């Protein structure tokens, strides 16, 4: 399973990467991006990702813009928004933009595992 | 005579109690004063009419330890206070007071630095945790190798103890091997428990990111507030800075009344 992890915090990218590794994904099977611009470039260059895990608030291009941009070319790829934005309005906005699932920080490894399992099986 | 440490400390702290040495040192001064008084008395006896002509100030000036009790002139103090106020005003105008507008004191800069530094440190902590996880994985691998070897030895010892039931050493070693297998299982479970704690610590490090975002929110508020205040206080009239009055009626500072004013005017007119 190829995963794209997008977050401006290097610590968060490592935390998510660690959880993903616990699920059995090899280190070489996931890429990291610090903002939407880098993520979009990686997405275009390596169009082989199975899941995108993205933060919302990031410089240059935020997560919501990234989701909308990806959805213009790929309607199927599962996208999970992992963010501190915990408002109901934000969740609805993200879902409308094309997010498949939503995780509010801080989250437990179990939650991410469940959501990823659900997306991959579904 | 050298002072003891206690005396020095008492002196430094301005203690009221006078030490013996100090009194001893003061005695000559008193004696000196007495001698001068004698001279004065003698001179007064001899020259009663010319007492006013004696320059007391000169005599006092010649005696050590006599402190002038006269109140200091007020004018230099006022001048000094005025200078201080002017200096302070100048510091405020130059952006030096209460703190100079340097990168170290700019609020948003400092918050930014804190956020960045915290991110670096968090990354270093993550390195340490990852290192422990990697080391634990190696320990687990070694433990598996050791456990596999002991299991084979156990099988060997079991067959030997069955074939040679009278040889105690086989049975003893078999028991020891079984104990070691248990120890190996305990070691493995301890490493697992430690790994779980490290994963918990890694999860908790999400709060670093949450706190960073809280700092960024504060920074955004400060920036907006700064822009707003700059806008609302902006003076686009192009007028030069007006000279402001230092003492105005109604101020808490002392203002000259009519009598003082007249007195001052007449004093200076007399000169």
Do B111 and B229 belong to one domain? Answer: yes
Range of weakest confidence among A8-12, A102-106, B69-73: B69-73
Q: Does A53 touch chain B (CB under 8 A)?
A: no
Q: What is the pLDDT of residue B29?
A: 47
Q: What is the pLDDT of residue A36?
A: 96
- Asked if the Cβ–Cβ distance from B206 to A106 is below 8 Å, we say yes
Which ranges constitute the DSSP H helices of chain A?
10-22, 36-45, 63-73, 88-97, 109-121
List A residues 15-44 in contact with B (Cβ-Cβ < 8 A): 15, 18, 22
Q: Does A46 touch chain B (CB under 8 A)?
A: no
Mean of per-residue pLDDT scores for chain A: 92
Residues A7-28, mean pLDDT to the nearest whole number: 90
Do B210 and B181 belong to one domain? Answer: yes
Q: Does B131 touch chain A (CB under 8 A)?
A: no
Do B155 and B223 belong to one domain? Answer: yes
- Asked if the Cβ–Cβ distance from A22 to B199 is below 8 Å, we say yes
Do B38 and B135 belong to one domain? Answer: no
- Percent composition of chain B: helix, strand, coil (DSSP 3-state, to 5): 75, 0, 25
Angle subtended at Cα A109 by Cα A104 and Cα A111, rounded to the nearest 5 degrees? 55
Residue B194 falls inside a structural domain? yes
Could you tell me the two tokens for A1? 């399973």
Q: Is A115 helix (H, G, I), strand (E, B) or coil?
A: helix
Mutate to test the interface with B, among A11, A90, A109 (most CBs of B within 10 A): A11
- Asked if the Cβ–Cβ distance from A105 to B126 is below 8 Å, we say no
Nearest CB neighbour to A84, from listed B203, B205, B210: B210
Strand partners, A33: A6
Q: Does B212 touch chain A (CB under 8 A)?
A: yes
User: Do the beta carbons of residue A103 and residue A81 sit within 8 Å?
Assistant: yes
Q: Provide the number of structural domains found in chain B.
A: 3
Q: Closest chain B residue to A112 measured between Cα atoms?
A: B203
Domain ranges of chain A: 3-117
- Asked if the Cβ–Cβ distance from B119 to A9 is below 8 Å, we say yes
Residue B138 falls inside a structural domain? yes
Residue B70 falls inside a structural domain? no
> Range of B96's domain?
76-100
Those residues of chain B that have pLDDT short of 70 are: 1-79, 271
3-state SS track over B82-103: HHHHHHHHHHHHCCCCCCCCCC
Which ranges constitute the DSSP H helices of B47-66?
56-61
Q: Closest chain A residue to B210 measured between Cα atoms?
A: A84
Report the gap between the CA of B209 and the closest CA in chain A (Å): 7
Q: What is the pLDDT of residue B25?
A: 47
Which residue, B144, B172, B145, B143, is CA-closest to B157? Answer: B172
Radius of gyration of chain B (CA): 44
Residues A32-47, mean pLDDT to the nearest whole number: 94
Residues A81-86, mean pLDDT to the nearest whole number: 93
CA dihedral B14, B18, B20, B22 (to 10 degrees): 70
Nearest CB neighbour to B199, from listed A84, A107, A109: A109
Q: Is the peptide bond before B167 cis (omega within 30 degrees of 0)?
A: no
Structurally, what CATH architecture does the domain formed by A3-117 represent? 3-Layer(aba) Sandwich (3.40)
Q: Does A12 touch chain B (CB under 8 A)?
A: yes
Residue B263 falls inside a structural domain? no
- Asked if the Cβ–Cβ distance from A107 to B126 is below 8 Å, we say no
Q: What is the pLDDT of residue B71?
A: 53
Mutate to test the interface with A, among B213, B215, B216, B219 (most CBs of A within 10 A): B213
* pLDDT, tens only, B110-141: 898 988 898 899 999 999 999 999 999 999 99
Residue B259 falls inside a structural domain? no
Residue B254 falls inside a structural domain? no
Nearest CB neighbour to B206, from listed A12, A22, A57: A12
In this prediction, does ipTM exceed 0.85? no
**Cα–Cα distance for residue pair B33/A56, rounded to 1 Å:** 87
Q: Which residues in chain A are closer than 8 Å to B209, comparing Cβ atoms?
A: 7, 9, 11-12, 84, 105
Do B153 and B205 belong to one domain? Answer: yes
* pLDDT, tens only, B208-223: 989 999 999 999 999 9
Q: Does A14 touch chain B (CB under 8 A)?
A: yes
Backbone angles phi, psi at A88, to 5 degrees: -60, -40
User: Do the beta carbons of residue A54 and residue A63 sit within 8 Å?
Assistant: yes
């Amino acid at each position: 399973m190829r995963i794209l992890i997008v977050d401006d915090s290097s610590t968060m990218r490592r935390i998510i990467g660690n959880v993903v590794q616990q699920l059995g994904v090899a280190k070489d099977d996931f890429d990291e991006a610090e903002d939407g611009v880098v993520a979009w470039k990686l997405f275009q260059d390596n169009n082989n990702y199975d899941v995108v895990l993205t933060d919302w608030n990031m410089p240059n291009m935020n997560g919501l813009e990234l989701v909308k941009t990806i959805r213009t070319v790929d309607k199927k790829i599962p996208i999970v928004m992992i963010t501190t934005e915990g408002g109901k309005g934000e969740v609805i906005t993200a879902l409308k933009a094309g997010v498949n699932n939503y995780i509010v920080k801080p989250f437990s490894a179990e939650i991410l595992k469940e959501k990823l399992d659900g997306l991959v099986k579904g | 005579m050298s002072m003891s440490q206690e005396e020095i400390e008492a002196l430094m702290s301005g203690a009221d109690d006078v030490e013996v040495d100090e009194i001893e040192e003061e005695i000559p001064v008193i004696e000196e004063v007495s001698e001068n008084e004698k001279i004065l008395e003698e001179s007064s006896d001899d020259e009663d009419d010319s007492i006013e002509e004696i320059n007391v100030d000169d005599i006092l000036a010649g005696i050590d330890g006599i402190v002038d009790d006269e109140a200091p002139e007020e004018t230099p103090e006022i001048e000094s206070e005025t200078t201080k106020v002017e200096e302070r005003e100048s510091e405020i105008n130059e952006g030096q007071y209460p703190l100079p507008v340097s990168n170290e004191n700019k609020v948003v800069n400092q918050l930014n630095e804190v956020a960045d530094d915290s991110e670096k440190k968090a990354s270093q902590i993550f390195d340490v945790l990852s290192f422990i996880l990697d080391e634990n994985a190696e320990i687990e691998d070694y433990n598996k190798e050791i456990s596999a070897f002991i299991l084979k030895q156990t099988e060997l010892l079991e067959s030997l103890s069955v074939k040679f039931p009278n040889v105690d050493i086989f049975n003893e070693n078999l028991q020891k091997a079984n104990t070691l297998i248990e120890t190996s299982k305990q070691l493995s479970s301890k490493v697992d428990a430690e790994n779980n704690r490290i994963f918990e610590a890694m999860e908790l490090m999400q709060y670093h990111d949450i706190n960073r975002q809280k700092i960024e929110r504060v920074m955004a508020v400060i920036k907006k507030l700064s822009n707003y205040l700059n806008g609302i206080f902006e003076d686009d009239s192009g007028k030069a800075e007006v000279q402001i009055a230092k003492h105005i009626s109604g101020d808490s500072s002392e203002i000259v009344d009519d009598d003082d004013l007249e007195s001052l005017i007449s004093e200076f007119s007399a000169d």
